[in-house]
Structure 1
């Protein structure tokens, strides 16, 4: 019952965020609120086993949710901006030397590894292409390998993200 309630409530809140600002009751109309309740209930029935896989609801803790927002709006946005500028520079100058590297993530949970893989994929110039589930390593295609990097067996995550320690943020939030 708890997975259904949690999933329905999160779906309802997500729906309200998507339709904010178009009504007369605070920011929504009564029709939108009723539609949100119906969509939330249907989503709760369909996705309760997907959204809440176990009895561990640690990611619904408000401190962790605030941590995710701080991570996205802070260090990840900085890295994203730097990567955009770097890719633009490489496209203009033609200074591209693509390659695939093995990244030792050091993550212990699947959620943390998934967050790191998605953060890497969302960053321009990088793409997570595979995961070694035994060692929690990622294989990443990057737009530019430095001289001698192709001889390295594995990279550390701090070598990919140059400014902020992105893996430490992900560990704080997800592990």
Structure 2
């Protein structure tokens, strides 16, 4: 914030002129009191704070006297309504909330898979099959203990065949 305050108070531009001008577009320094503010769209001026104050503010809003233990979006909204701003508010709130032990213990379990699902499509029935060999089961009549299962991707048709051993002759249908 120091180069932006120097630029707004005295108009001094360092070598990184364009970058500094772009960063200072929504900011103002009223009455040269050394406190940097950001203009909000319809609300009051938002006071810019440094990283140390930002962590304190997040902890105070999240788990202070009137702590709400809500998600990062609600925490950032409370901070903005209180009149504070810093770049990366949402990321800092997410990082600080992940450190909360009670929230991690009582959070709901996510039922979504960790990886994105990849759909396997087929244009007509029976061109693609998935074949699974099931682990040995207890031996049944006919000394069969393995199960070979084939599933068609298009129709979800299932074929299963019990076999005594896994050989090429037993897999040929």
TM-score normalised per structure 1: 0.26
Which structure has greater strand proportion? 2
Q: Which has the larger radius of gyration?
A: 2
Work out which structure has the larger RCO, using CA pairs closer than 8 Å and 6 or more positions apart in sequence. 1
TM-score normalised per structure 2: 0.26
